[in-house]
Structure formats: structure tokens, C-alpha cells
Chain A
Amino acid sequence: MGMSNFVSKSQSIRDKLKQEGKYTILNKEEHIKSLVVINKSLEDVRREFQVKDQKSQQNAAFVTLTA
């Protein structure tokens, strides 16, 4: 069986949507602007998480569960 026999329904769907003009590459200026904003914002989330995670771990050493 050759490669030509492989079936990809999703590729056919994507090709059909492209042909119908229902396809947009999200690389316009507005998209780049939103990407810059979201990257900065997620970097803040990453730093916030790292602090919360480290402190959670450190303080956990002082809580003994016995009951």
C-alpha cells in the first residue's frame, strides 16, 4: 500500500475551508500586538506561580499530620 492510500479527513476539511476562503493566518499587526501583551501577561503568571510553588513547598515541611 503506498502513501497515496492514506486518508486524512481533517486535511480534506482544511483544504475545503481554504478553498471556500474560510482560512486566515493570524499574523496581522493586531495579532502581533495581542501576542506581545499576552506573552508579557503569561510571563507574570509564570513568576507568580514559581513564588507560590516554592513557598508552598518550603512551608509544607512544618505541617505534621498525625490525627
Chain B
Amino acid sequence: MILKNLTLHNMSIKSIIAQIKDSKDFITELLVSEFNIDKSNSEFLFDRVLQPHFTNLRSDLYLFAETPYIDKVYRDSYYHYYSSKLKRYCRDTIRISFFEKEITLDDFRNENSVQTLEDSYLGFIILRPTEPQLIGRSLLSPRILLNNSFQICQTKYQTTVNSIKLNIEGFPHSSQDTETISCAETTLWAIMEYFSNKYPEYSPVLPSKIIKVLNQVSFERQIPSKGLNIQQMSFALKEFCFGTRIYSKTEYQAWFENLLSCYVESGIPVIVAIENRHAGGNIGHAKLCIGRNDLLNDAIDKLDEIRNLSPELELIIKHKSIRLYDYDDIDKKFIFIDDNQPAYQVAKLKNPAVHYVNADWHNCRITYFIVPLYPKIYLEAFEAKNFFLKFILQGPVPVKASSDVVLRCYLTSSRSFKDDIARNSTIVGDLKELILETSMPKFIWIAELSEKDLLKDKRTKGIVIIDATETNLFSYKPLILAAYDDVIITFDETAGNLVKYTLTLHNFKIFENNLKN
């Protein structure tokens, strides 16, 4: 271990380097020296609270600790709450940064080593003096994990380590402190942290801002936090400029998980509410679903035919011997950001709390989800998916009899979509220009028409593009362009009618820019 003091005004920033195998000694020493927690309690807290956050990390990591560190989220909680208590809380935190290569203090002062630092930087975790909830804000690259075979919503952040600006891609996480932020507030904070970093339309929020916004719809004080109901969470998101939608398991039934999967595939982090009240329990918890595991060919092979069809569509596919599958029905695991657990938990939607040690959680089920949509996305997933189904089965040019179709629906921005199409060398012929020169709104719904074997190769044989700002479904109004079975269907501006062009289409690579690893 190397310890160095850097003088800054009348304070001293201390930095320490250690290998991850020494993390227990390293961190308990920091808890003792910086937070005045006695040694035996520090060791207990490490084993109970911190160790789970290190268990799933790679064994070749180097840790770089800096203290005192001013963390914006904890400092906000400190000034608005902890500083008003009798007991003296430390206002500073410890920041632990992770690197995949051995580092020295000199690397941070050598111009030639900075790129190596950048390449090997894997994120940070803040330790705050709110025992036992010591884990504060964190931002970790999925590359830090032993197993990272998944695709998630992530965005690039700039941070500093020992005065050097470094970039990191990941999804923000924090544990709840249970007093200023419970699961509901932490989830709102993480959503805003993600969106504000990714899109200029949104601003980051601190715990005090969330509390202030919710004061408008609360009849009691907001801190110490007693959690939030789903409507309050939705209200807060609306105040933070989202066009929020709430989906209930009771109402959507068989569509519920399918729609949740569709939004995740669209690259939108979704707030899920899990409860065990149906089994007589008293757990109600909020967490974020931010991605899914990499799909295996076996899961695609095992995909059953679509279940959510209306009776008239059932008749059509039977009569025409069409085998229709929905990509969102593929049996897969999802990636969660849960403030009771380390970042990037993996679980199936049917069993979302399987990774909890406390067995009381194991019978929790997802009962609601909240989608933070861009406010001008007027057409939501239930209507969009139904439009696609009816268009390809009952529309002016239904898919051919005896077809195999795997429908993959997602929302994306027309900018990302067109950029992908423009760079996609597997789209040959006239289709590329016909898509790229078509006017589109900021957000569009896409349905790719693939087949199981094509999908394993990440290819599609057709596509339908509809307008996410158009909720009037009358007379195919949302349709922008459809291309499958060697026809292109679109509106002819001069004829004012839906028209069909016949041309040979080839299969091409699917769109994969909504989720990343």
C-alpha cells in the first residue's frame, strides 16, 4: 500500500493504492481513519455491507482511494438532513476508483501514462459515513464484472481521479441511506442521473430536489423518508419533463412482461415495482430494469408462437399457416439496478428478487412498471405493437401464407436509426435511400420481421416503421414505411394514398444501438 498526502489549502487529500485481494484491510483501515468507526465494527460492516459489492468484481483490479472526497449526492443529504442532527456526521466521503492494470501515483503525473490510465479505468464507488448504508453513488463499467454477457442502457460520464479527467461508460447506482433516500428516491435519482448525462433536455436531480417536488403532492413531511407510492414517483418524473406511463400487471396480464421487455429493448430504463403482498408479505420495493442478457441461440429455438393475439388474428394465422413469434417472449434474464444490491443484478422478470439472501424476498413479483418516455412519444407500446400485428396480418399487403415471422418491436430515435441504416453495408439496393430520405419524427417505432435462423445471425428480412407521435391509428395514419415480402408500402404524397412498390428485398443486419455492452 502506498500512502501520499497532497496539500490543498488547509486540507489534505490522501490517496492510497491497493490490490483488490487486500480490499478488506484497505477499506476497514479507511473506515477507521476517515469515519471514526471502530475496527471491529468496520470489519463487520465490510463483511456484511461492502463485501457483496466486491464479490462479483474481477480479481485483477487495482483500487485507488481518495479522501476526503466531496460527493454531490451525499453533501446534499448532509446539508438538508444529517447536519441538523445532534450526532456529528462527517460531511466528506471516500472515493474508490478501479483500474484493470497496475497503477502508480506517478502515472497520474506523467503525460505518457494518462492514456493507459484511461484505458484501464473501470469506474468508482463512493463510501459515505451513513453506517450501515455505506455504499453511496457509484458508476462502474460492466467490464469490471466477472460476468458481463449482457446489453444495457449506458452512457459516458467524465469524472476525475487524482486530478486527471477520465471517462467511464456505465449506469449510475447508489444504495439507499433509508433516511433521506429510500428505494423510490434512489431510483428517481438514478433515472435522472442517466438521462441528464445522455440528453440535454433533462437535468440531474439531488435528493433535496426530489423531496421539494413531491412536497406539492404530500400531506406529511418527506424526511425521514417513508418511501413513495407509484403515483408519486410518476408525478416526480412528469415534473422532471418525462411523459410518464404506468403499467399494471393486473390490467395488462399476458402483455405485461412482453411490454416491459419491449421498452427495455428500446433502451429505456424502466422503474419496476416488486411486491410480496400477494403472498401475505409487506415488501414493496422499486428498482430499475436497464437491460437483458446476451441472447443464446437455444433461447431463440425455444421461443413459442405468439400468445397475445386477438381471436380474429388467431383465425388468420391458422387459416394461412403463418408461424408468428414475438421477440419479447424470448425466455431471458434482465439486468437490474437495485439499491439494496450491488450494481447490475441479473434475474428473470418472473423472479426479480432471486438474488436476495433474505428468503422473504424470493416470492416478490413485479406488479407495476413506470416508463419515463420522452414527452412527445405519444404512441405507447401496447398500441404500437397491436398496430404492427394488425398491419402485417390484416393490412393492405398481409405477410405471405406459410410464413415464419419473428416480430422484434422497439422504439428508437430517427437520428440513431438513420445513422445505423446509413452505415449498414448489409442493406443493398434501393431500400437504403428510400428509408434515409423519408421524413421522420424525432422518435419512431420499428418492427423488424425476422425468422428464427435469421435472428440467430442478427438479421431481418423486413421492417415496418411507424410514427411515435401519431396516436390516431385510423387509416394507417402512423405508417411511415413498410418493407417486406419484396414490396415497399408507404404514403404517396402526390396521390394522397397508400401505395405499393415492388422490388427485390434482401435480408439485412438488425438495429442494435439501443442497448450496449
Chain B residues lying within 8 Å of A57, measured Cβ to Cβ, are 231, 234, 246
Chain A residues lying within 8 Å of B184, measured Cβ to Cβ, are 65-66
Do A42 and B284 contact each other (CB < 8 Å), given the known contacts A8-B437, A26-B500?
A: no
Chain A residues lying within 8 Å of B499, measured Cβ to Cβ, are 23-26
Interface presence of B285 (CB below 8 A): yes
Q: What mask results when residues 31 to 49 of chain A are scored 1 for a CB within 8 Å of chain B, else 0?
A: 1001101110111111001
Query: By the criterion CB–CB under 8 Å, are B252 and A52 in contact?
Result: yes
Query: By the criterion CB–CB under 8 Å, are B275 and A63 in contact?
Result: yes
Interface presence of B54 (CB below 8 A): no
Query: By the criterion CB–CB under 8 Å, are A10 and B231 in contact?
Result: no
Chain B interface residue number, banded: 35 or more
Question: Which of B228, B310, B396, B498 sits near A64, CB closer than 8 Å?
Answer: B228
Distance in angstroms between the alpha carbons of A41 and B396 in the assembled complex: 14
Distance in angstroms between the alpha carbons of A8 and B476 in the assembled complex: 25
Interface presence of B7 (CB below 8 A): no
Distance in angstroms between the alpha carbons of A64 and B476 in the assembled complex: 40
Chain A residues lying within 8 Å of B503, measured Cβ to Cβ, are 17, 22
Chain A residues lying within 8 Å of B497, measured Cβ to Cβ, are 25-27
Chain B proximity of A62: nearest CB distance (Å): 7
Query: By the criterion CB–CB under 8 Å, are B396 and A34 in contact?
Result: yes
Do A64 and B394 contact each other (CB < 8 Å), given the known contacts A10-B437, A26-B499, A27-B497?
A: no
Which of B59-67, B143-151, B379-387 faces chain A?
A: B379-387
Do A49 and B383 contact each other (CB < 8 Å), given the known contacts A10-B433, A26-B396, A34-B396?
A: yes
Distance in angstroms between the alpha carbons of A63 and B497 in the assembled complex: 48
Distance in angstroms between the alpha carbons of A14 and B248 in the assembled complex: 45
- Residue numbers of A with Cβ under 8 A of B are 8-11, 13-14, 17, 22-27, 31, 34-35, 37-39, 41-46, 49, 51-53, 55-57, 59-67
- Residue numbers of B with Cβ under 8 A of A are 182-184, 226-231, 233-234, 245-248, 250-252, 273, 275, 283-286, 310, 312, 340, 367-368, 380, 382-383, 386-387, 390-391, 394-397, 430, 433-434, 436-438, 473-476, 489, 492, 495, 497-503
Pull 27 A–B residue pairs with CB atoms less than 8 Å apart, ordered by A.
A10-B436, A10-B438, A13-B433, A13-B434, A17-B503, A23-B500, A24-B500, A24-B502, A26-B397, A34-B396, A35-B475, A37-B394, A38-B394, A38-B395, A38-B476, A42-B386, A45-B387, A49-B380, A49-B383, A52-B248, A55-B251, A56-B368, A59-B248, A60-B229, A64-B226, A65-B229, A66-B182
- Extra A-B contacts (13), CB below 8 Å, given A35-B476, A64-B227, A67-B182: A8-B437, A10-B437, A17-B501, A22-B502, A24-B500, A26-B498, A41-B312, A44-B310, A45-B383, A45-B386, A52-B382, A63-B275, A64-B229
